[in-house]
Amino acid sequence: MKNNFSLIISIAGFVGTIFLCSFFKFGITFAFFLIFLSIIIFLFRKFVVTDPESKQKIFLLVVFLFSFALGIIRYEIKDSKPLDINLENNVGNKVVISGVISDEPTRKEKQAILVVDFNNIIISSSTLAVSGKGIVSTDLYPELKYGDLISISGKLEKPVNISNSSSDVTSASGFDYVSYLGKDNIFYKIDFAKTKFISSGHGNIIKRILFKIKNSFISNLNKTIVEPEASLLSGILLGAKSSIDKNTSDIFRSAGLSHIVALSGYNITVVADAIMKAFSFLPHIFGFLGGIIGIILFVIMAGASSTAVRAGVMALIVILAQITRRNYQAGRALIVAGLLMIIINPKILVFDISFQLSFLATIAIIYVAPILKTKFTFITEKFGMRDIISSTISAQILVLPLILYKMGLLSLVALPANILVLAFIPATMLFGFITGMLGFVWILLSLPFAWISWVLLAYIIKVSDFFASLPFSSVNITWFSFSVMTVCYIVIAVWVIYQNRIIKNV
């Protein structure tokens, strides 16, 4: 029990410090001071204090101070990389820079967005080596891809935060765009750039292969399913939102269904769960392996990006919870997974909303959904309806305060829209996945599955359009502050603890 409490204190100290470091600068000197102070206090405890109870309290203080110091050190390491002097001196100037496209390009209606690792800059006819990463907007054509070495001409600038007044997205807190990019070490931007292709085949060979598989998979879908259903399916399966037109995106946002076209633990989990059920007539281990394989395939199809890997980890935890039927262990696994992700990149704790939403949704499935399932006895268990509705409502409950704080948009129709749509998402994903995979074998073989997928996708679009078209389907909320969000999560936590105690006593 004491060891568990010490572990809780150490995790809380480390994660709490990462959170504080996202807003305040403590400095590496202060971290070493805390380590020195913790050593002094530990020696005092060892050689001076004799009372066992006092020894335990002092030990917990030492653990907390040491964890606090480690949190500062980890954040400082992430934040301490010096910026390239040649890039810094040319901010605000028109430049010619060469670099390698380091992530899959995002294609929008009128432009392509590239993440580029800069390697050379031309200054006064001299070519100088540089090190830095930037986000570049350019023309849709010629079409560029991951691993291409390109020359970029344009004005080098620093990213700026998007104000609510000028953004398409209303936010109660304002969107910290600079920190959002900074978590991935992106500190520069070039808008409306002119690009020139130099050569291909650069970058990580594994990522090139994975992105090629993904694009071929999407091409298979486009050959058998018409628009906008094909783009929607690409978004649901692989998080490929860039192919969805703005009108459709607005419809899903107003209906509170934007999350179904964002790659998340939920998307991957529902297909893995469907695969497990498909193998349920076989020995238990085959269902388990089917779910694991399903998750791995979907992560590969998504190009194994950081978002996809994170969603895959979350989905594996949910599958583990379903297999073992031991929620407490799944909760501990979730904490470990989240802690490892924060250690790898501490900035995702505050500046990566996809990590936050995925984490909250997974907590909801593990802890809140079982409570709601005991209360929804009036809902049939046929076709997994009770599980679907319980999971849907629980996820909505936990992500809503964060969405209101970050985006300030409350969809008044989200709950009924989600219930009517999410019940069909597993089948849509399963048949869509089969369609894309059979396309590698023979397009005609995939047609029956493509037709079923189209019917399901058309239904989802019709439902979304109906709810989005209702008067006052969504409202903007500007008063939802961080303190209000915190109070909401405290209330939810107290309710979950109270309900779990009632269930245990029954």
Least trusted range by pLDDT, from 169-173, 312-316, 499-503: 169-173
pLDDT at 172 over 50: no
Q: State the DSSP code for 197.
A: E
- At residue 428, the pLDDT reads 87
pLDDT at 167 over 50: no
- At residue 265, the pLDDT reads 55
Nearest-angstrom CA–CA distance, 287 and 284: 5
- At residue 252, the pLDDT reads 83
pLDDT at 169 over 70: no
- Mean pLDDT, range 418-430, rounded to an integer: 81
pLDDT at 104 over 90: no
- At residue 168, the pLDDT reads 40
The domain segmentation of the chain, as residue ranges, is 2-79, 85-203, 212-505
- At residue 115, the pLDDT reads 93
- Mean pLDDT, range 51-64, rounded to an integer: 89
* pLDDT band for position 37 (cuts 50, 70, 90): very high
* pLDDT band for position 118 (cuts 50, 70, 90): very high
71 contacts 16 by C-beta, under 8 angstroms: yes
Highest mean pLDDT among 46-55, 71-80, 299-308: 71-80
pLDDT at 439 over 80: yes
Least trusted range by pLDDT, from 126-135, 260-269, 279-288, 416-425: 260-269
- At residue 495, the pLDDT reads 92
Tokens read off for 309? 């890997």
Q: Where are the alpha helices (DSSP H) in 348-473?
A: 348-351, 353-363, 369-375, 385-406, 414-422, 425-438, 443-468
- At residue 303, the pLDDT reads 61
Q: State whether residue 291 is helix, strand or coil.
A: helix
- Tally of CB atoms within 10 A around 390: 23
The CATH number of the domain covering residues in 85-203:
2.40.50.140
Buried b / exposed e over 212-230, threshold 16 CB at 10 Å, is eebbebbebbbebbeebbb
Least trusted range by pLDDT, from 190-204, 216-230, 363-377, 384-398: 384-398
Could you tell me how far CA 56 lies from the centroid of its own chain?
Answer: 39
Across-strand partners of 153?
96, 194
Q: Which residues contact 74 (CB under 8 A, 6 or more apart)?
A: 14, 18, 343, 346
| CA dist list (Å): 185 to 79, 92, 348 | 9, 19, 12
